[in-house]
Amino acid sequence: MEETLLFKVTRDADSAVDEDRDDDFIEAIQEILSARLSSFPVRMICTGNSPTILSYLKTGMDLTEAEIYQVPPPIDFSTLNELVNSEGLDRLRYPVWEHYWPVDFPSDTPLWDTLDCTDLLLHVPYQKYDPVIRFINDAADDPSVLAIKITLYRTSGDSPIIRTLERAARSGKHVTVFVELKARFDEERNISWAYRLEKAGVIVVYGIAKIKVHAKLLLVVRRKAGGISRYVYLSTGNFNDKTARLYVDMSLFTTNEDITNDATLFSI
């Protein structure tokens, strides 16, 4: 009698990096990533119509009954993404949400003058994420901007923010990026971003031992007629232009002295 079984295995990903290896911390992270490929199984999702195959897999992977979840197919809905995005199926989709430009934000000028007078609040995805991208672009291109300091926990695969930070560094600005290498399942991407930013002349900080930094913070230091001004962007969401179209997050643009002082101490 022939049997078939669809199954998906989840491996243990809870290995802790040795954070005392200061000299080769990136190598320690890479060892963890490599170890995940062969770590022990902790869960199997499968269809439930093949007892012989199921018994064989259960024994071979040393799984208990509590670690096996029998479900009707499909067991991996991510395989439907390509179908969902196929052309010619617009009639089956919800109307595309229109992300509105926030009315308090100037549409055609940098935010400096506005922020000198008032704070600004951004609410995505209902409002466009574009002001964040433009704010960083303005900081990179403005000759009066002396320094840009930012934390990166997760960002998109083809991040316009990374490209802008590279441009700012190459133009002679002091750019510092705190890259959290311990961002779960984004470690490899963040290592790649860190190497790329360093090649562009960015000062990269590779995290803090025994602490995972989730802060979403941007500090811009700018010269003006009256002296030096500091502009801060704080958010509940990552610097990710893709997820900002879906996830609900609040962001604050401010020159509040208490906040800019804290941001400065944080970024030193």
Q: What is the CATH number of the domain that holds 224?
A: 3.30.870.10
- What pLDDT shows up at residue 13? 63
Amino acid, single-letter form, for residue 220: V
Q: Supply 115's token pair.
A: 């922020």
Confidence of residue 23 (pLDDT cuts 50, 70, 90): low
User: Looking at the structure, do residues 119 and 244 belong to the same domain, yes or no?
Assistant: yes
- Domain termination residue (choose one: 32, 56, 90): 90
CA-CA distance, 259 to 253, in Å (whole number)?
10
Token pair belonging to 100: 């509105």
Are 177 and 165 in contact by the 8 Å Cβ rule? The answer is yes
What average pLDDT does range 51-78 have in this prediction? Answer: 88
The predicted model scores a pTM of: 0.78
Do residue 32 and residue 161 come from a single domain?
Answer: no
Domain's final residue, options 57, 90, 123: 90
| pLDDT for residue 255 | 97
Parallel, antiparallel, or unpaired for β 174-179 and 145-152?
Answer: parallel
Among 43-57, 120-134, 141-155, the range with the most confident prediction by mean pLDDT is 120-134
Tell me, yes or no, whether 70 and 118 share the same domain. Answer: no
Q: Are residues 179 and 230 in the same domain?
A: yes
- Domain count within the chain: 2
Residue 97 lies in a domain: no
Find the domain containing 42 and state its range. Answer: 7-90
Which range in 55-69, 91-105, 184-198, 222-236 is most confidently predicted, on average pLDDT?
222-236
pLDDT for 232 beyond 90: yes
Q: Are residues 62 and 153 in the same domain?
A: no
Q: Report the C-alpha gap between 8 and 47 in whole angstroms.
A: 10
Backbone phi, then psi, for 228, in 5-degree steps?
-110, 135
Q: How far apart are CA 217 and CA 231, in angstroms?
A: 11
Residue 249 lies in a domain: yes
Look at residue 49 and tell me if it is in a domain: yes
- DSSP label at 173? -
- Do 34 and 149 belong to one domain? no
* 8 A C-beta contact, residue 197 and residue 165: yes
Average pLDDT over residues 70-93: 84
The secondary element (H helix, E strand) that includes residue 249 is: strand 249-254
Residues 147 and 255: their CA atoms lie apart, in Å, by 15
* Whether the predicted pLDDT of 205 surpasses 60: yes
- What's the pLDDT tens digit per position in 159-188? 899 999 999 999 999 999 988 776 665 666
Same domain, 140 and 41: no
Residue 148 in tokens: 């840009």
21 has a pLDDT exceeding 60: no
The separation between the first and the last C-alpha atoms of the chain, rounded to the nearest angstrom, is 68
What pLDDT is recorded for position 18? 56
The percentage of the chain sitting over the pLDDT mark of 70, rounded to a whole number, equals 85
Determine the pLDDT at residue 188. 67
Of 40, 55, 90, at which residue does a domain stop?
Answer: 90
Query: Would you say residue 58 has pLDDT above 60?
Result: yes
Q: Render pLDDT for 94-134 as a digit per residue (tens, 0 to 9).
A: 888 889 999 999 988 999 999 999 999 999 999 999 999 99
Q: What would the two tokens of residue 260 be?
A: 């800019």
Q: Please report whether residue 158 resides in a domain.
A: yes
**247 occurs within a structural domain:** yes
**DSSP character at residue 109:** S
Are 182 and 102 in contact by the 8 Å Cβ rule? The answer is no
**29, containing H or E segment:** helix 25-36
> Measured between alpha carbons, how far is 229 from 192 in angstroms, rounded to an integer?
32
The answer on 35 and 70 residing in a single domain is yes
Pairing of strands 41-46, 145-152: unpaired
Q: Are residues 76 and 148 in the same domain?
A: no
Structure tokens at 120: 């600004």
> Same structural domain for residues 83 and 133?
no
pLDDT for position 34: 62
Let me know: does 135 contact 165? Beta carbons within 8 Å.
Answer: no
Same domain, yes or no, for 79 and 145? Answer: no
253 compared with 85, residue with greater pLDDT: 253
Mean pLDDT (whole number) for 60-64: 89
Report the mean per-residue pLDDT for the chain.
86
Strands, E, within 41-110: which ranges? 41-46, 68-70
pLDDT-derived band at 27 (thresholds 50, 70, 90) equals low
Q: Is 214 annotated in the active site? A: yes
The alpha carbon of 58 is separated from its chain's Cα centroid by a whole number of angstroms, namely 36
Average pLDDT score over residue span 18-46: 66
Candidate list 99, 123, 174, 214, residue with the active-site label: 214
Residues 58 and 158 in one domain: no
